[in-house]
Chains A and B, each alone.
Chain A
Amino acid sequence: MNKKFVLGIYDDEDVLLHAIENIRATGTKIYDVFSPYPVHGIDDVLGIKRSRLPIVAFFCGITGTSFALWMQIWMLGFDWPMIIGGKPHIALPAFIPVTFELTVLFAAFGMVITFFIVSRLKPSLRVNVFDKRSTDDKFVMAIEVKDGVTDLSALNKLLRTNGAVEVNEKEVVK
């Protein structure tokens, strides 16, 4: 099914932030906002919740710590114990560097892989960008049009009075 969108194009981050607030206040639902860089404060006005990725990183890190300790203790302490430099088989202080490194490795990779999955980032030739200028110098606000429900001219006026420099329509083929 095809979806229709109205795109409000902005060229300043402060104008955009005010516009988002005003437009949401009228009860209009904003589908998404695309910007060339992370606009600070946009999360609050759009009502985006804080990402839970740090929690993922924490648990992946804990997994790394446990795995590294288990691996070293099992290999040198139980599977094939050897006396090295007169130290005990399980010489915990000497196991700390590898444990630390694997904690960081697991935390970083676990979080980044989760980031790619939840943000649906994958190598692909097909890219759905509403307006190509949104990766250059424009901020694009997309509002979904529901046939028979959305009043296009009112929406156009709402976007324009809130500082949009351009208002376009775009149909996305699913």
Chain B
Amino acid sequence: MQHVSPIREPLVTGGKTYHDITEDVCRQVEAGPNPRWAAGLAVALVGLAIFIYSVYRTLWFGIGEWGLNRTVGWAWDITNFVWWVGIGHAGTLISAILLLFRQKWRTSINRAAEAMTIFAVICAAMFPVLHMGRPWLAYWVLPLPNTFGSLWVNFNSPLLWDVFAISTYFSVSLVFWYIGLIPDFATIRDRATGPIARRAYAVLSMGWTGSAKAWSRYETVSLILAGLATPLVLSVHTIVSMDFATSVIPGWHTTIFPPYFVAGAIFSGFAMVLTLMIITRKLFHLEDYITLEHVESMNKVIILTGSIVGVAYTTEFFIAWYSGVEYEQYAFINRATGPYWWAYWSMMTCNVITPQLFWFRRIRRSLVLTFIISIFVNIGMWFERFVIIVTSLHRDYLPSSWAMFSPTIIDVGIYVGTIGLFFTLFLLFCKFFPVVNMAEVKAILKSSSEVTHTPANTMHGTDKGLNTTNPEHRDE
């Protein structure tokens, strides 16, 4: 039994019992579609349709449908790729790193955050695959015998490291997520009334019974997966940053990139988790599980990572000057004052200034302001990748080949389309899967719910405080 300080805020409010948790979480799975959910899905499906159309244009007419030119050969595609991968990282941070640090507040948000990771990585993967131009040959990135093409793949290339990093990250995250889902699928299975639901959740729950030995193994597997996922998530964005850092482009060739990208990834990911959680808790009435305490904790992570990102921007600028390399110096002066100055200053405003507002407790605990700032951070982090990629490329060593990049409608369509794809997947997840990890929330209920902090129930032992307190509290 762990000791929990009485001054610590409860993580589950409203005097919930174990059964209340089951009811509250299973309700959206079992009930008919919520109209607000259906409206959200309709909007997301429009986005998905835009995605499908833009992909069709890209595949039918080729990469010429995008705004790329000979100077700026990488633009929105890689910007969006890095943006989406970065967003995914918060899910792993919540489920793995916070598990290792024994942070109990992760339990009610880890399920949705991990789902976000998986869907964000799916969206991210679309961009490099589409940029190949011939995605049906995407398997050429695998080390296959050379009858398929020429030679072996180049293991010295960061782009190939990316293939291994992203696919390992995706599959390990998927497995981690699924292991956590098994006991909750069993709960839904044992409550299911319809024949289809009972069979579907029986198959998904893989015959889980919740025996003591199985739980013991489950906990061991979760811990080891967390231990594996922690260095994995750091390696993924490190390798993504090496796509740039190992090249000799001024503005890209810097050793600060790996830590700076990892901090930025967690920063943007937490912003996206907040955006999603504020919507989800409202949509599915989960205010007692995703409390202001959770929002505040996430906002603290945002201040920390936002400040790290701010220091990184400053350091980069300083080192460019201090290096004495005129190309490096020009790349940075050009970022801040050149034709893309507006992108640079949008990035600085959204990423460095807005998160500092979270030093005020009132703002950290205000849902409206948190939501607005989380959107700012999402936008800022998109601009960060755009600034790094496009402004470093558009004015290269030869002034005769300087160019500007402007996106086409198809570029915009694919980007907006992946947002549609993401929300389609996320909303389907919310409807058919338990959106809060019931088993883990039940496990922290005794030590961290509101009820145990009332004087009558602080005594541990044989009192049945949990299930007898507040018997009248069964409001719907």
A109-B171, A124-B206 known; A136-B19 Cβ under 8 A: yes
Closest chain-A Cβ to B438's Cβ sits at a distance in Å of 8
Judged by a CB distance under 8 angstroms, whether A152 is at the interface is no
Looking at the complex, which one of A12, A80, A97 makes contact with B464 (CB distance below 8 Å)?
A: A12
B213 in contact with A76 (CB, 8 Å): no
Interface segment, A1-9, A112-120, A143-151, A153-161?
A112-120
Q: Does B232 have its Cβ within 8 Å of any Cβ on chain A? A: yes
Report B-chain residues with C-beta under 8 Å of the C-beta of A14. 460-462
Contact B210 A134 (CB under 8 A): yes
Closest B residue to A163 using CB positions:
B462
Instruction: Kindly list chain A residues whose C-beta atoms are within 8 Å of the C-beta of B17.
Output: 137
For B242, the chain A residues whose CB sits under 8 A away are 97
For B175-212 the 0/1 string (1 means CB < 8 A from A) is: 11001001100110111000000010011111111111
Indicate whether B354 reaches chain A with its CB closer than 8 angstroms.
no
A residues in contact with B182, CB < 8 Å:
121
Q: Contact between A108 and B161 (Cβ–Cβ < 8 Å)?
A: no
In the complex, A163→B165 CA distance in Å? 52
A95 lies within 8 A of B155 (CB): yes
- Interface flags for A26-63 (1: CB within 8 Å of B; 0: not) read 00000011111111111100101011011001000000
**Residues B93-137 near A (CB distance < 8 A):** none
Interface digits, A94-134 against B, CB 8 Å rule (1 contact, 0 not)?
11011011101101110110011011111111111110111
User: What residues of chain A lie closer than 8 Å to B218, measured between beta carbons?
Assistant: 38, 115
B221 contacts which of A100, A112, A136 (Cβ < 8 Å)? A112
B residues less than 8 Å from A108 (CB atoms): 171-172, 175-176, 225, 228-229
Q: Is the CB of B221 within 8 A of A38?
A: no
Contact B206 A121 (CB under 8 A): yes
B366 at the interface (CB under 8 A from A): no
With a cutoff of 8 Å between Cβ atoms, the chain B residues found around residue A38 in the complex are: 215-216, 218-219, 439, 443
Q: Judge whether A115 and B205 touch: CB under 8 Å.
A: no
Residues of B within 8 A of A111 (CB): 221, 224-225
- B165 pairs with A101, CB closer than 8 A: yes
Q: Is A36 touching B152 in the complex (CB atoms < 8 A)?
A: no
Our pick among A18, A32, A127, A130 for the contact of B207 (Cβ within 8 Å) is A127
A118 in contact with B217 given A14-B460, A14-B461, A125-B199 (CB within 8 Å)? yes
With a CB–CB cut-off of 8 A, which chain A residues contact B176?
A: 108
Bound CA–CA A37/B190 (angstroms): 15
Whether A128 contacts B209 in the complex (CB less than 8 A), given A43-B216, A94-B155, A109-B171, comes out as yes
Q: Which residue of A lies closest to B232 (CB)?
A: A104
Say whether B156 contacts A87, CB under 8 Å. yes
User: Smallest CB-CB separation from A129: which chain B residue?
Assistant: B209
**How many positions in chain B have a CB within 8 Å of any CB in the partner chain?**
74
By a CB distance below 8 angstroms, the chain B residues around A15 are 462, 464
> Who on chain A is nearest to B198 by CB?
A125
In the complex the two chains form, what is the Cα distance from A151 to B52 in whole Å?
68
Query: Separation in Å of the A23 CB from the closest CB of chain B?
Result: 14
Asked whether B235 is an interface residue with its Cβ less than 8 Å from the other chain, the reply is yes
The answer to whether B209 and A34 have CB atoms under 8 Å apart is: yes
- When distances are taken between beta carbons in the complex, the residues of chain B under 8 Å from A46 are 212
Complex-state Cα separation, A98 to B443, whole angstroms: 38
Q: Which residues of A contact B208 (CB under 8 A)?
A: 121, 135
Task: Report whether B206 and A35 are in contact in the complex, using a CB–CB cutoff of 8 Å.
Answer: no
Instruction: Please indicate the chain B residues that have their CB under 8 angstroms from the CB of A98 in the complex.
Output: 155, 160-161, 164
Shortest A143–chain B CB gap in Å is: 13
Interface presence of B147 (CB below 8 A): no
Contact check: which of B199, B205, B211, B228 meets A104 at CB < 8 Å?
A: B228
With a cutoff of 8 Å between Cβ atoms, the chain B residues found around residue A169 in the complex are none
In Å, the complex CA distance between A91 and B246 comes to 15
Q: Smallest distance from the beta carbon of A129 to chain B beta carbons, Å?
A: 6
Residues in A neighbouring B219, C-beta threshold 8 A: 38
| A135 pairs with B156, CB closer than 8 A | no
Instruction: Assess whether B303 is interfacial by the CB under 8 Å rule.
Output: no
Q: Find chain A residues with CB under 8 A from B151 CB.
A: 80, 82
- Write out the residue numbers on chain A whose beta carbons fall within 8 Å of the beta carbon of B179: 112, 115
B295 to chain A, nearest CB (A): 24
Q: Residue B312 at the A interface, CB < 8 A?
A: no
A87 to B22, CA, bound (A): 59
B239 within 8 A of A: yes
Nearest neighbor of B235 in chain A, beta-carbon distance: A100
B231 contacts the other chain (CB 8 A): yes
Contacts A97-B235, A97-B239, A101-B164 given; does A84 touch B152 at CB 8 Å = no
Do the beta carbons of B205 and A35 come within 8 Å of each other? no
Provide 23 A-B residue pairs closer than 8 Å at the C-beta atoms, listed in order of the A residue: A11-B467, A14-B462, A32-B211, A36-B18, A36-B22, A37-B439, A41-B1, A42-B215, A48-B212, A97-B164, A101-B168, A104-B235, A108-B228, A118-B217, A119-B214, A123-B203, A124-B206, A127-B186, A127-B202, A127-B205, A128-B209, A136-B19, A137-B22
Nearest 8 CB-CB pairings of A with B: A137-B18, A97-B161, A37-B443, A132-B190, A121-B206, A38-B215, A51-B220, A137-B19
